[in-house]
Amino acid sequence: MCYAIPGNVKSITGNLITVDYFGEKRKARNDFYNLQVGDYVYAQGGFVVQKIDEKDAEEILDTWKELFFELKKTDARLSRLHNDKPHLDKDFLKIINRATYGKSISHQEALRLLLSTDSDEKEVLFKSANFVRQKFLDNACCVHGIIEFSNICRCQCEYCGIQSSNINLKRFSLKPGEIINVVADAVIRFGFKGIVLQSGEDLSYSSEELLDLIKMIRKKFPVFLFLSVGEREEEFYRKAYEAGAKGVLFRFETSDENLYAKLHPDSSLQERVRYLKFFKDVGYLIATGGLIGLPGQKAESIIDDFLFAKELGCDMYSFGPFIPHIDTSLADDHAPDIEYVLKALSVLRLIDSSGKILVTTALETLHTQARRRALLSGANSIMLNLTPKEYAGLYDIYPRSSTVDSSVEEQVRNAQQLLKEIGRAPTDLGI
Ligand code: 5AD
C-alpha cells in the first residue's frame, strides 16, 4: 500500500543532505537521524522522516524501478505544450510564453489570465500550468493525510460551519489515544509519511496535551507532522517545533483587509500575518493560502493573495473554493465555478513555478474529476482524509459529504490509481 519511494543519501553537509531517487537528486533536511552516505531514507516535505534498512530499501526500490520510469513517461506525455493556436489573442500568448519560460508575471498579467473566458485560452492556460509544473518539479506528488481531531472552535469566521455560534452542530474532540491509533493505522498500514493534525481553535485541548501528543507521535512513528490548530501562544509553537512538528497549515484566508475584517470578528489580518512570519522564523514549513470566491471578493484580490503568499515564503499553497454552509450568514451565497478555481490554480502555478500546490478537499467537493483536473492544471499535492468515519461528518466546516464517506483504504486506492494514470510519483519534492 505504501506510496512512497526511498532515496539513497549521496552527500551530507551539516543537517542538509542530498537524496537520490533513481538518478534524480533532491535536497532534504535531517534533524532526527544519524546518517551516513549510502544510507536509505524516506523524506517528506523536504525533511528526512525515516532511515530504513538497506535490504528493505532495495526490495522496495526493485518494485518501483520499472514503474518509476513508466510514470515519468506518462507525465511527460500529458504535460506537453500545445499552444499552437494561431487565432489566440497576442497579449494572452505573450504572457503565457513568458511564464512557460519561468519568467515572472505581473499582477495585471495574472489578472488577464484569470479573467479569461475564451475556452481555447482556458485550455492553453491549464496546459501551460501543467507544463511549468513538470518542467520545474518533475512528476513528484505529495500525498498527505489529515486528521480532524476536534470541531470545537472559539472563533466565529462567517463562512465556517464549525463557527462557535452554530448550535445545530454536535461537537466532538478525539482523545490523544484515539489520535495515536489513527496515526498508527495511517503510517503502519497505509504508509503515510506526512500527516496534518487539524482542529477548530479548541483551547480545551491544552498546550501540554498537544505537546505530549506530538512527542508521542514522533517517538513512535516516522512521519512529518503539520499542525493546523489556529492561533495559540507563541511559546506553544516554539515547543511544538522542538517536539518534532515541523510544518504549520495556517491560512491567512484573504489578504483584503476590509473583507478579512468583515468575515473574522475574532482576529485581524495583521495578527494572522504576524503569526505566519513568526512560524517562518521558528523554522516551520508553512502551508498557507485562502478562500477563492468569497462573497465580495474581487478577482484582483485573489491575485493579491497569490503574490502575498509567495512573498511570505509559502512552502505549500492551500487555496480552495468558498463553499456556503447552511448554518452561516453566507448560506445564500454561491460557491465559485470549478473552471474559475482551476484557472486560479493555473495562474498560481505560473506565478510560482516551483512551489507545492495542494488540491484542497473543498475543491474536490465541486466535481468528481476535480482532483484529476487540478493535478493537470498545475497542482502537485493531495490530501486524504484520515478522520474516523463517525466524526468526519461532524467536521462540518463546509458541506462535503461526498468526500468523507469513503474509507481510508478506498481513498488510498483511488489516489494511487489516479497518480498512476497521470504519471505522478511519490518522490519527495525536496527543499
Ligand atoms: N468553504 C471553504 N473552506 C472553508 N473553510 C472554512 N469554512 C469554509 C467554507 N465554508 C476553510 C478555511 C480554514 C480551513 C480549515 O477551512 O479556509 O482555514
**Superfamily covering domain 138-422:** Aldolase class I (3.20.20.70)
pLDDT in tens, 339-386: 999 999 999 999 999 999 999 999 999 999 999 999 999 999 999 999
Ligand 1 geometric centre to CA of 412 (Å): 23
pLDDT in tens, 296-345: 999 999 999 999 999 999 999 999 999 999 999 999 999 999 999 999 99
85 pLDDT above the threshold of 80: no
Highest CATH level, class, for 7-78: mainly beta
Q: Give the integer Cα–Cα distance in Å for 399 and 395.
A: 9
86 pLDDT above the threshold of 80: no
Indicate the SS3 state at residue 387. Answer: coil
Q: State CA 177 to chain mean position distance.
A: 26
Judge whether 32 and 225 are in contact, CB under 8 Å.
no
pLDDT in tens, 211-266: 999 999 999 998 999 999 999 999 999 999 999 999 999 999 999 999 999 999 98
Judge whether 41 and 50 are in contact, CB under 8 Å.
yes
pLDDT, greater one: 205 or 400 = 205
pTM of the model: 0.95
Atom of ligand 1 minimally distant from the CA of 159: 10
Ligand 1 geometric centre to CA of 63 (Å): 39
Backbone dihedral angles phi then psi of residue 26, each to the nearest 5 degrees:
-135, 150
Q: Which has the closest alpha carbon to 222: 40, 63, 360?
A: 40
2 pLDDT above the threshold of 50: no
Q: Which residues contact 180 (CB under 8 A, 6 or more apart)?
A: 213, 216, 217, 220
82 pLDDT above the threshold of 80: no
Q: Which of 7-16, 206-215, 307-316 has the lowest mean pLDDT?
A: 7-16
Helix residue ranges, H only, 42-89: 54-78
Atom of ligand 1 minimally distant from the CA of 321: 2
Q: State CA 368 to chain mean position distance.
A: 19
Residue type for position 46: G
Q: Give the integer Cα–Cα distance in Å for 239 and 242.
A: 5
Q: Which of 4-8, 346-350, 406-410 has the lowest mean pLDDT?
A: 4-8
Ligand 1 site-directed mutation target among 361, 398, 400, most atoms within 8 Å of CB? 398
Atom of ligand 1 minimally distant from the CA of 362: 2
Q: How far is CA 340 from CA 77, 159, 377, in A?
A: 25, 19, 12
Atom of ligand 1 minimally distant from the CA of 325: 10
Q: What percent of the chain has pLDDT over 90?
A: 82
CB-ligand 1 contact for 428 (6 Å cutoff): no
Q: Give the integer Cα–Cα distance in Å for 290 and 275.
A: 15
pLDDT in tens, 110-148: 999 999 999 999 999 999 999 999 999 999 898 999 999
44 pLDDT above the threshold of 70: yes
Residue nearest atom 7 of ligand 1, based on CA coordinates: 160
Judge whether 95 and 109 are in contact, CB under 8 Å.
yes
CB-ligand 1 contact for 362 (6 Å cutoff): yes
The mean pLDDT value for 66-84 works out to 88
Tell me the domain boundaries of the chain: 7-78, 90-135, 138-422
